[in-house]
Amino acid sequence: MALRTFQPYLDDVSSIRLVMEKRFDADTMSFTIESPKTSSELFISRRVEEEKTVVYHLTSIHSFNLEDDYVIYDQDRNKAELAYGHIVRSSLFEQLFTYPGNDLGANYQPKETLFKLWAPISKQVVLYLAGHTYPMKKAQQGVWEVTVPGNWDGKSYYYLHRVNGQWTEVHDPYAKSSLANAGHSVVINPAKLRKPSRAKTQVPLSQAILYEMSVRDFSWQKEAGFQYPGQYRGLSESPRLQDMSLGLDYVKNLGVTHIQLMPLYDFGSVDEQHPELIYNWGYDPVQYNVPEGSFSSNPNDPYARILELQDAIQAYHDADISVVMDVVYNHVYHAETYAFEKIVPGYFYRYNEEEVRTDGTYCGNDVASERSMVRNYIKQSVRQWVEVYGFDGFRFDLMGIIDSKTMREIQAELTSLYPNIYLYGEGWKMGTGLPEQKLAHQYNAYQLPNIGFFNDDYRDTFKKILLNPYYIIEHQQQEKIQDLLSGSINGHFIDPQQSLNYLECHDNATLFDYLNLQNPNLSRHDQKRAASFGLQLVLISQGVVFIQSGQEFFRTKNGFENTYNSPDAINQLDWTRALRYQNHIQFIGDFIRFRKEHPILSQESYYSIEENCSFYWLSEYVLRYQVQSETETIQFIINFSTQDYHFTKGEHQEVHFTYPPLVDKSAQEFHIAGQSICTLVETKKEDLVEEETSLLA
């Protein structure tokens, strides 16, 4: 009798893949399968030699029941428990084990708590709660549950389960909070949490002005004087630097409608108890439903991270500013240690034809959003962030990895709660193991009405023009510019609010740095002029405005392009620059208010844009962009060149904005500086409006 070890995996209902080391292989191998009910021979359909192992592909004349336990024997009666392999990614598995309920996790009541864990292939599951053990029972659709009498508010817990022949400890992927650094999950009493309320003003999605912020960057700078640097509580502070208000008051005065907070779910790269030791943006999820502990005052207090985040969001709502959350449902930090993978190995990620995890994210794994329990998990996750914290929208990192059906169901789920929710994301087309037509990238925008996309064409085109105005002539970009200013009317979007117009975000160099990196000979004056001009273009374009925090005071990261793990000294907002560039901040704030006061600058359909917008090139580099309504006409004279342009305004036109400002706004003739925009407004007389209205009637 020969002793050998091997591991069999169930790949479909009648096929088994058995892996063993080469040293255990024999000239003649045979295998049988046994359960408490049956015993039968397995047939070897294929034998494959790999570098260190031999793989036997076995078949049976009988189908296997996924609910039964099986043991595989060789001819010498060596045995191994049949594990679940590729079968977990089959349609049959989905049919049998899709759980439609929304009560997974710890369901707290003062006198008892119901614990539910979806673990369809586990043979045993034990709850460890506050030092006590409670065996769980398997119910329907692969859910294990146990009700534990008593008040377990604030108590820690985890699960120990036996899967594929091994006992594994895992935290609860549905937990609302945990101990520091993704430690044990914690039972949360919903009655102790705040009830969020919304911002008073609910602007249409087309009129959103988004302002990207990092919790840590926002308040980290020592000179700014925040009491709670790098914390949730820092978001709602308004310290003063000389005569200038910073923090929340600054954002309010700027006039944006929404702030977008970079990742604040629990991420893996930062030690929550010592955040000063390492910096990271946080695009490395560990617990999707738990606020990041490094931003809280006490990461080991499970309520602190929840309540402090709730208070911060409410402070912005009270200031009449909506809040968007940056989410990363496309990949996780460590594929092997992620909770879902430890519970149901092989289910949570996508695999290619060679059964290797796909890597369209370039992060080692792609989340399989198309699988029923992954889709349900994401939907429940975003719903919780809305219900518990009051988020007004979500920015989806690498949204092109997520399938379109999931995004549509997310939208349906959230708009049923809150009709004015705003969803948008990075719509890059990426290879991830699903057909392109099923993915939520920008070229499938027609499948995703009311979901927005970062417009990379807008970003790339205007950055090239800012750097070199001759690019317009060299590449015949006049029509392209008109298209981009019109919300990319001739592109793949179905309405203008799908186009997020931007020139900088946390990724890549800031616009101010980019100009210097590409042209080190550019003077500081010209660098600022071009950066300001770029932001003005964003503010006059049809579509949705997106601004990175600090862009209005020429944010710099010392020339670094990718600062995802650079020190705080690089990533922190330098509020002293806000003090230095107060005049430009005032100008941008006034421009934002002008846009908000004139909805014709953010129209909701391409039809209305075609009816009300027109373009005329006054020279090779100077464009007149006109937008009109029944009561007024707005003209933007856009000088793309670096040279001044002599201009004569109309008799009834008033100059509202130029940067740098005109000495005499009332002058009939004046010069428009290179790389600047002159904004002219002509209000129609009441008698003329009445005459036009009667004619239309």
| Three-state DSSP class for residue 27 | coil
Please, which residues have CB within 8 angstroms of residue 159's CB and are 6 or more apart in sequence?
117, 119, 125, 126, 127, 128, 136, 169, 170, 171, 172
**Residue 48 φ then ψ, to 5°:** -125, 125
Q: Is 426 a catalytic residue?
A: yes
Question: Which residue among 145, 212, 392, 426 is the active-site one?
Answer: 426
d(CA 19, CA 103): 38
d(CA 585, CA 294): 31
CA dihedral 430, 434, 437, 443 (to 10 degrees): -10
Cβ-based neighbour number of residue 493 at 10 Å: 22
Question: Which residue among 301, 308, 397, 495 is the active-site one?
Answer: 397
Residue 477 token pair: 């970009």
Cβ-based neighbour number of residue 594 at 10 Å: 18
d(CA 108, CA 203): 37
- Tell me if 186 sits within 8 A of 171, measured CB to CB: no
3-state helix, strand, coil in the chain (%, to 5): 30, 25, 40
Indicate the burial class of 670 (C-beta count within 10 angstroms; 0-12, 13-18, 19 or more): buried
Residue 458 token pair: 């807008």
Q: Is 654 a catalytic residue?
A: no
Indicate the burial class of 630 (C-beta count within 10 angstroms; 0-12, 13-18, 19 or more): exposed
The catalytic site residues sit at: 397, 426
